[in-house]
Amino acid sequence: MFESFNALVNEPMSAHTTLKLGGPADYMVFPRDGEEIAAMFREAAENSVPVTVIGHGSNLLVLDGGIRGLVICIGKNMRKITREGNILKAQAGAMLGSVALEAAEAGLTGLEFASGIPGTVGGGVTMNAGAYDGEMAQVVTEVRGIRPDGTAVCLSREEMDFSYRHSVVQEKDFIVTEVTFELQPGDPAAIRARMSELNAKRSEKQPLDLPSAGSTFKRPEGYYAAALIDQCGLKGYSIGGARVSEKHAGFLVNTGTSSRDFLNLMKKVQAIVEERAGVRLEPEIRIVGTEE
């Protein structure tokens, strides 16, 4: 199956996630546009094969048993970025950092916050990614996508129903293929300076030298997840090679571990924080696949 798309067979997902964990995908393909995505879904449906869609794998924990069926990876080929005036259009697989850099080079402000987020445009708009008082909802004006049956989708900012780490994409059955950003003219030097400032903050505060899936838990209303974890004395706490970062308690890192240990560490942190602080932490990362 999927030979016409040059599918990889039994492809280790550890090679396709920033966490560097995960068992094999039965089949893995890399579409170039929405038409190919629709064709991949058709072939999968004809063969009763389940489909999982990923971007850059930066907000993802794949379990040790891997992913059954077909994995469609948007983040390899769908990276085109175009500009017309203060409007940027980016395919869903474009990295947020690349779009922010494109904007900076054009003297457009609004995406500085995204310059260090290690995810794709599609993933970013799906979860309304944000940092340092900025988020996708502030700059996205239109989202295009495709349903598994091949029909097109086009949603305005209002129809996206953005909220904290949420958009309507999480409930709708369609794949994001292109996002339109509306930005404002700004001083290129000031824009670059702001991006450099934010990236320096990230390097100072986040464990960028170790594999992670980014911020592991959502921010509970009225609290900060990292502060709660730190207050519970969990910095440096580990199960196997999965560890709560000593640099930033909101990051769980891989120092040489399995997905099982990483997931168990997540559950342990949740249990301790709930017991000691009375707050239930919800995962910000997406968990897919099967246990061994």
Kindly report, residue by residue over 196-239, the tens digit of the pLDDT.
999 999 999 999 999 999 999 999 999 999 999 999 999 999 99
* CA 1 – CA 142 distance, rounded (Å): 35
Tell me 217's DSSP state: B
Q: What type of residue is 278?
A: G
Is it the case that residue 116 has pLDDT exceeding 90? no
Residue 62 β-bridge partners: 288
All domains in the chain, ordered by first residue: 3-73 (3.30.43.10), 81-191 (3.30.465.10), 207-288 (3.90.78.10)
Bridge partners for 72 per DSSP: 29, 53
Whether the Cβ atoms of residue 136 and residue 92 lie closer than 8 Å to each other? no
Around 259, how many Cα atoms within 13 Å sit in the side-chain half-sphere?
Answer: 28
196: annotated active-site residue: no
SS3 226: helix
Coil, strand, or helix at residue 157?
A: coil
Is 258 tagged catalytic? no
Backbone angles phi, psi at 220, to 5 degrees: -70, 150
Q: How far apart are CA 217 and CA 225, in angstroms?
A: 6
Find the catalytic residue in 11, 112, 135, 284: 284
- Is 284 an annotated catalytic residue? yes
Distances (CA, A) of 234 to 14, 230, 255: 26, 6, 16
Q: Which of 212, 215, 245, 259 is catalytic?
A: 215
Q: Which residues of 170-181 are buried (b: 16+ CB within 10 A; e: fewer)?
A: eebebbbbbbbb
Which residue in 165, 194, 219, 243 is the catalytic one? 165
Q: Give this prediction's pTM.
A: 0.92
**pLDDT tens digits along 189-207:** 999 999 999 999 999 999 9
